[in-house]
Structure formats: C-alpha cells, structure tokens
Chains A and B, each alone.
Chain A
C-alpha cells in the first residue's frame, strides 16, 4: 500500500473525533456555553446601565443621583417639564421630533433615489461613493464647525430647520444609502422587467412593483433616519442656531447635572426611541411574515 492508502486506511485518532463539533442531533460543545455566557454578559452590560437610569428616574424627592432608592415618585418627571432652570426641555423635544421627521422623509427619498442610481455604473459613481464614506467617517464636530464658518461667511443665520437638516443628512444619508445597497442587492431585476413586459410604464413599475416590494427596506431606512437624527449631537452642535435640539439640551444638563431630572429626561427620550423602533421593526416583521413562504400544498 502506498503512503496515501496507509493514511486513509488508518483509524482516525480519538482526539480528532473528540475535537470535531458534535453532530447536529446530540449536545452542544463546551464552547457553546462559554460563548453563551459571554453573550449574556454583553447584553446585560448593554442594557444594565440604561435600566439603572430608568429606575433611578423614579427616585424619590429626597433621593440623589445614585442608589439606593429612597422611594418611588414621579417628582423628577414633573420637575423636568415645569422647572425653568432645567432649560427648555419641552421646546427642545418638539424641535427634535420635527427635525427628525423632516430628516427622515428626506433620508428615505434621497437614499432610495441614490440606491436606484447605483444599480448601474454612471460617470463619477466612484467619487460619489467615496464622498459618502468620507461623510460617514469625518469627525462630526469638524463638519459642524465648517458649516458654521461657511454660514458666518455667507452671512446666513443657521437654524434647526435649515442648516441642521443638512448637517444631519450628511450623517444619515450614508447609512440610508448603505441600507439601500443591501436591500437592492436582494431585489430581483426580473420583477421590474416583468412589469415592463406586461406593459407598465416606468412610473407604474416604480409605484406598483418596486416601491411595494422594497417597502421593508424603506422602513429600515426611515428607522435609521429618524433615530440617527433624533440622537444626533456633534454635527448639530454648531449648526442648530440659537434654539437647542434635545441632544444639545441633554448635553447642557450633563455638564451641569445636579438632580435626577436628567435621568428622567433620559427615560422619556428613550421611550420615544423605543416606540419608533417598535413601530418600524413591527412593520417590517408584519410585511415579511405575510410574504414568507409556507409549505406548498401541491
């Protein structure tokens, strides 16, 4: 027998067998439990601190910024919205939500169009791509300062509904376009071609076929657009003008924190974020579930 035949015929050593991952039906290797532990710790560390804040925001009037809880009350929530010294929280809230709404709509539309554009190559597509990546990794404060200076030179006053929109879009659009890339790559061109074949005009194909099929992806882009704008801080800092958005308010409070009303603010703003997330993810899940394949019946 040749060396190769010897090697094949020799029984596989126990060590090799033992090291292979256990077959599907039987139990899990030890690494599963180790990694599971790591994962659980990660999730705990991820949510733990936030949960502490939520609990602490119900701190009693006499309580301080840290544990233990001296009692439960809604005092700090009330304090947040009524006391003048904590800044214009209500106003900042409204501005942030409105701004996020504007940015979301713009992000969805612009990202969708850009995603369509990138399906085929066009002159300068490489430049646009790298500019987008550049906008993503550029330090937010630098861009913020740049826009501020630009406005100063031109002589325009920045404000939360003009310059801040653009500054925030420079952050949300790259995310939106990247999500569109992922979504478009799963979009079968045959659907579009079939629509044209059956007599649809370009606009009809877009309205009746492309957009509805891409709907979950568009909702995902909207999710990114809203949450990224709602929490955006660095780029908005120098471009929001004289009136603050919510993150800017939070920042001011952070530097001057003296009471759990900051935690109350954290809780409230996170509830808003969770609500938006739940709506978006729920929508996507519902659409996908309806279209998911079930066992064929023949």
Chain B
C-alpha cells in the first residue's frame, strides 16, 4: 500500500512539475546561459562564451549605485512594513475578542491584495502630488505655505507605495503565527505575574519569529525584484537593479541583462537563504 501511495504522489505532483520545469527552471537556465554569451548588437546572441558581461557588472560603478538604491529601499520597506504589520497582526489576534470580527477585519486588510497593484500604486498620485489632496489640505489648514515637494516623485513616495503594497505580506504570516499561540500560555504567564512587556518579549516575539521571517522573505524578494514602482513613484529620480535590467532588455541587450539578472537572483537567493536559516520553512508552511 505504501509503495503504491508513493507512486501516486509522484503522479499527482507531475502537473505542478510540468509547469515549474519549463516556466521556472528552464528560464533560469536560459538566462544563466545567455549571460555567458555576447550580444551581436541587434538583439541576437553570439554563442561565444565570455565572462565579459560579469566583468562589466562587477567593475561598473553603476552596479554599486543600483544595488545601494535597491537595498536602501528594501531595508526601509522591510522596516516599516514589519512595524506596521506586526502591530496590526497583534491587534487582530490579541485585542479583538470576537473571532468572527477578527477574521472579518483580517479579510478587510487582505482584499486590496486581490486587486491590481499598479492601480493601487498610482492611486497615491492624486494624494501626494503638488496639487494633491494632502498638500491642498495642509495649505488650507495653514500648516505650510508651499506644497511639500518631497511627497511625490521621490524616495518617500517609493517607500510609501512599497509599504502600502507589501505590508499585507507581513500581516498574513505574522497573524498566522500569532494565532497559533495558545492563549492559555499567555494566561499562565499573567497568573505568574508577568507584565505585558515580559509577555511580548518572552512569549509573543519568539513565537512569531517564523511569521516575521516568512513575511520578510516576501518583502525582500518582491522589492529587490521590482522595477515599476520605483520607476513611476520616483519620477525617474531613482533607479533599481531590475529597472536597469528592463532598460537593457528594451534595447535588446540580452546578455548583459541576463548577467545582471543572474547576479540579482544570486543576491536575492542568498538573502532568502539567510532568513531561512532562522526558520524551518517547510514545517511552518506545511503545517
């Protein structure tokens, strides 16, 4: 019976593999391959292996700048989405008494995730612009005399858009982790005289670690791999690694784009692996 089940397992998972193989594994390999070749300048690829693409990347100051910008945004987004996401999840799990209401509010936070993120991004424009709602209100109320320019088409706007889009990725795993904490453990701690700070420090934070790690993986990989939020919200003022990649592809410079993509993928993989070291992801997800 067990052997037959194992065969069934392989059969059942084959459709998934039929998708992953050509649409994940193969493209990665193709990009990897293309990164070692040369461009013929017209969008084709000359099949002579060369390391020139990588050398160009690692010796170019542009690379360092791009990664600095991208990492800067990644860290800022991660920080703010974590802080907001943690407290929202905490509020929903520990302060909302009615479980049905908690689920309802949780869904309220999740629904925007299921709508277009481009639309959600550009929806900040009428708010943050020089003639936008916030500036108009501030001027009307007399807080400022001139419209605040830094609100839109700036790093501030980029981070706002990212946090707006990605906090949900923090809320969901952290909510999950917190919801699994047995409330009786907290009660027992209270009985023993622990303060709320103690409980946070010694019970809730350690037990939410997995959720935080999972959320971080999502946030980091999405921000590092993004190109359109930065392009639009910074008004062209900032660039990102993938943004530059996109430009390269636009001018049909496939090999250099490929090399850049490979380097980025390795960096993101390393970051994700680093985070994974602190959590058993398989157990966490497959529970």
Give chain A's interface residues, CB within 8 Å of chain B.
Answer: 12, 16, 19-21, 28-29, 31-32, 35-36, 38-39, 42-43, 45-50, 52-53, 56, 65-68, 109-111, 113-114, 116-126, 128-129, 131-147, 149-150, 153, 166-167, 169-170, 173, 177-178, 181-182, 185, 223, 227, 230-231, 233-234, 238, 246-247, 250-251, 254-255, 257, 262, 265-266, 269-270, 273-274, 276-277, 281
Contacts of A257 in B (CB 8 A): 122
Q: Which residue of B lies closest to A266 (CB)?
A: B119
Q: Are B15 and A270 in contact (CB under 8 A)?
A: no
Contacts of A231 in B (CB 8 A): 114-118
Cα A128 to Cα B20 in complex, Å, equals 9
Interface residue tally for chain B (C-beta within 8 Å):
92
Cα A238 to Cα B154 in complex, Å, equals 28
Q: Are B127 and A266 in contact (CB under 8 A)?
A: no
Question: B19 at interface (Cβ–Cβ under 8 A)?
Answer: yes
Dominant secondary structure of chain A at its interface with chain B: helix
Q: Are B27 and A133 in contact (CB under 8 A)?
A: no
Contacts of B125 in A (CB 8 A): 65-66
Question: B25 at interface (Cβ–Cβ under 8 A)?
Answer: yes
Given A20-B193, A20-B195, A50-B115, A137 and B217 touching (CB < 8 A)?
yes
- Of B12, B109, B132, which one neighbours A114 at CB under 8 angstroms? B12
Which residues of B92-138 are within 8 A (CB) of A?
92, 95, 105, 107-109, 111-120, 122-127, 129, 131-133, 136
Q: Are B15 and A45 in contact (CB under 8 A)?
A: no
Q: Are B19 and A53 in contact (CB under 8 A)?
A: no
Question: B22 at interface (Cβ–Cβ under 8 A)?
Answer: yes
Give 8 closest A-B pairs by Cβ, nearest first: A146-B27, A139-B225, A122-B9, A117-B12, A49-B123, A137-B221, A227-B114, A117-B13
Question: How far is the CB of B242 from the nearest CB of chain A, in Å?
Answer: 5
Q: Which residue of B lies closest to A109 (CB)?
A: B15
Q: Are A138 and B30 in contact (CB under 8 A)?
A: no
Given A145-B257, A273-B115, A131 and B19 touching (CB < 8 A)?
no
Question: How far is the CB of A154 from the nearest CB of chain B, in Å?
Answer: 10
Q: Are B24 and A135 in contact (CB under 8 A)?
A: yes
Encode contact with A along B262-287: 1 for CB under 8 Å, 0 otherwise: 00110011001000000001100111
- Of A20, A134, A139, A173, which one neighbours B19 at CB under 8 angstroms? A173
Encode contact with A along B159-197: 1 for CB under 8 Å, 0 otherwise: 000001001000000000000000000000010011111
Question: How far is the CB of B174 from the nearest CB of chain A, in Å?
Answer: 13
**Segment touching A, from B50-58, B83-91, B201-209:** B83-91
A-B contact pairs, 28 of them (CB 8 A): A21-B196, A38-B84, A46-B109, A46-B164, A49-B124, A66-B125, A66-B126, A110-B19, A113-B15, A120-B2, A120-B6, A123-B6, A126-B282, A137-B218, A139-B224, A139-B242, A139-B265, A141-B225, A141-B242, A143-B23, A143-B28, A145-B31, A146-B29, A146-B31, A147-B23, A147-B27, A150-B22, A223-B114
Further contacts, 12 of them, CB under 8 A, given A67-B126, A145-B258, A273-B114: A20-B194, A47-B112, A48-B127, A49-B127, A49-B164, A113-B13, A121-B6, A137-B268, A139-B226, A149-B31, A153-B30, A269-B119
Cα A119 to Cα B6 in complex, Å, equals 10
- Of A35, A113, A167, which one neighbours B90 at CB under 8 angstroms? A35
Q: Are A141 and B227 in contact (CB under 8 A)?
A: yes
* Most chain B C-beta atoms within 10 Å of own C-beta, residue among A145, A153, A277: A145
Cα A126 to Cα B28 in complex, Å, equals 19
Question: B232 at interface (Cβ–Cβ under 8 A)?
Answer: yes
